[in-house]
Amino acid sequence: MALAGDLKSSAAVAGIHVYLRRFLIVLKLMTLLQQMAQAEINRREDLRRRTRAQLRQALREFLPGETVLVYGSLTKRGAFSEVSDVDLGIEREPAGMTVYQLISLLGERLGRRTDIVLLPDCRFRGRIVREGETWMPQD
């Protein structure tokens, strides 16, 4: 009888070992997935920072002295990606060019689609002003 009890105990211990090994594998997998997710977040944030710096430089060149509202994914951590566009609001047509020319110049410079709205004509101006970032000429 003692032998049967020992066998049951050994089977229970073996079962616990299998469970623990599976648990450790799942734990390692979860850690790996968390690391991969964090790496993606970091990569996106780096892309967002680089694009913001490129945009600031381009705006200094193309719209010197003009205040620009930046809105959309470029203003939100974790939302900007390789396929994101750049969304801008301006008060008036730029001097010496049309909005469409400015869109083209910025798109070429940044390597991504750029949308510009004239704020006085924009039906969602209030939302842009509330949620967007105001970039001043000296920024």
The band of 131, judged by pLDDT with boundaries at 50, 70 and 90, is: very high
The band of 89, judged by pLDDT with boundaries at 50, 70 and 90, is: very high
The answer, yes or no, to whether residue 95 has pLDDT greater than 80, is yes
Residues in the chain: 139
| Local structure of 135: helix, strand or coil | strand
Mean pLDDT over each residue of the chain, to the nearest integer: 90
- The interaxial angle of helices 99-110 and 2-62, nearest 10 deg, is 130
The answer, yes or no, to whether residue 48 has pLDDT greater than 90, is yes
Mean pLDDT of all residues in 62-76? 95
Mean pLDDT of all residues in 70-74? 97
User: Looking at per-residue confidence, does 78 or 81 come out higher?
Assistant: 81
In the chain, the amino acid numbered 30 is M
Mean pLDDT of all residues in 90-103? 95
Going from N- to C-terminal start, the domains of the chain cover: 2-135
Q: What is the pTM of this model?
A: 0.77
**DSSP string covering 33-96:** HHHHHHHHHHHHHHHHHHHHHHHHHHHHHHSTT--EEEEGGGGSTTT--TT--EEEEESSPPTT
Domain 2-135's class? alpha beta
Mean pLDDT of all residues in 117-128? 96
Lowest-confidence pick of 8-17, 49-58, 76-85, 91-100: 8-17
